[in-house]
Chains A and B, each alone.
Chain A
Amino acid sequence: DAGVIQSPRHEVTEMGQEVTLRCKPISGHDYLFWYRQTMMRGLELLIYFNNNVPIDDSGMPEDRFSAKMPNASFSTLKIQPSEPRDSAVYFCASRPGTVREQYFGPGTRLTVT
C-alpha cells in the first residue's frame, strides 16, 4: 500500500489567499484525522471523520477552516482566507476501525506570508 498521501507537500501563499490541502487515506481505513503541528503548540487535532462523517471538529480554530470528506478515499482541508499564523505542518492520518494505531501522511508544510 502507498500509505497516506498528502498534497501538496509544500505550499507558500500570501495572506488572504485560499489554501486547499488534500489527503488520500489508506484504503479500508474508517477514520481520517487532520492535525496541525507548530513548535509553539505541538500536534493539535483539528477534526476527524468516521466513515466520511465529521465526528469532532472542536479543534478547528475558527470559521476560516473547513474540512470535507466526500468519499472514503479523499478529504480536503481548506483555509479561506489564510493568515500568517496558519503557517504550520498539516498532517493527515488514517486508521482502521478496529485498531488504534494511526498512520500519518508526510504532511504539508504551509507558509503564509
Chain B
Amino acid sequence: RKEVEQDPGPFNVPEGATVAFNCTYSNSASQSFFWYRQDCRKEPKLLMSVYSSGNEDGRFTAQLNRASQYISLLIRDSKLSDSATYLCVVNAATNAGKSTFGDGTTLTVKP
C-alpha cells in the first residue's frame, strides 16, 4: 500500500461546478499536510497548507480528518484555469525533512 493515495481521476467537470478530491495517508504519525498543484509539463507548486481545523483560500477549502487519516480539497465555482493535477503531500513527524507526494488527481474543467 502506498503511503499517500489519491484517486487519479481524471475528473472532468463543467465551469462553475464544485469538485472534491480526497487523499488518504497510512502513517498515523504524520504531522503536516499540503496540496500542491502541477500544470502540464511544469513543476509542482504549493496550493495551500492543510490545518487541523480546516482552512479556506478563496474558492479552495482544505480539510483534515486525523481519525480517518484523510485530507480533502474542495474547489467551488471551478474555472478553466483550475485544470491541473493536484498532489496531496504528507510530512511525517519522524524524518521530518521528507515529504511524501501522492500520485495526483487530474482535473479538467470544460467550458
Interface size (A, Cβ < 8 Å)?
18
Query: Given the known A-B contacts A42-B104, A43-B87, are A101 and B97 also in contact in the complex, defined by CB atoms under 8 Å?
Result: no
When distances are taken between beta carbons in the complex, the residues of chain B under 8 Å from A101 are 34, 46, 49
Main secondary structure of the interface of A (DSSP, over half): strand
If A42-B101, A42-B103, A48-B97 touch, whether A104 touches B32 (CB-CB below 8 Å) is: no
| Interface check B42, CB cutoff 8 A | yes
- With A31-B97, A48-B98, A55-B97: A106-B42 Cβ-Cβ less than 8 Å: yes
A100 near B101 (CB under 8 angstroms)? Answer: no
Give the distance to chain A from B32, nearest Cβ to Cβ, in Å. Answer: 5
| CB-defined contacts of A45 to chain B, threshold 8 Å | 98-101
Question: Please, how many angstroms separate the alpha-carbon atoms of A91 and B110 in the complex?
Answer: 30
**Contact of A102 with B by CB under 8 A:** yes
CA distance A104 to B100 in the complex (A): 14
Least Cβ–Cβ distance between B85 and chain A, in angstroms: 10
Q: How far is the CB of A41 from chain B (nearest CB, A)?
A: 8
Give 8 CB contacts A-B under 8 Å: A35-B101, A42-B102, A43-B101, A43-B103, A100-B34, A102-B46, A102-B99, A104-B45
> Which residues in A have some Cβ–Cβ distance to B below 8 Å?
31, 33, 35, 42-43, 45, 48, 50, 55-56, 91, 100-102, 104-107
B residues with a Cβ closer than 8 A to A are 32, 34, 42-46, 49, 87, 91, 95, 97-104
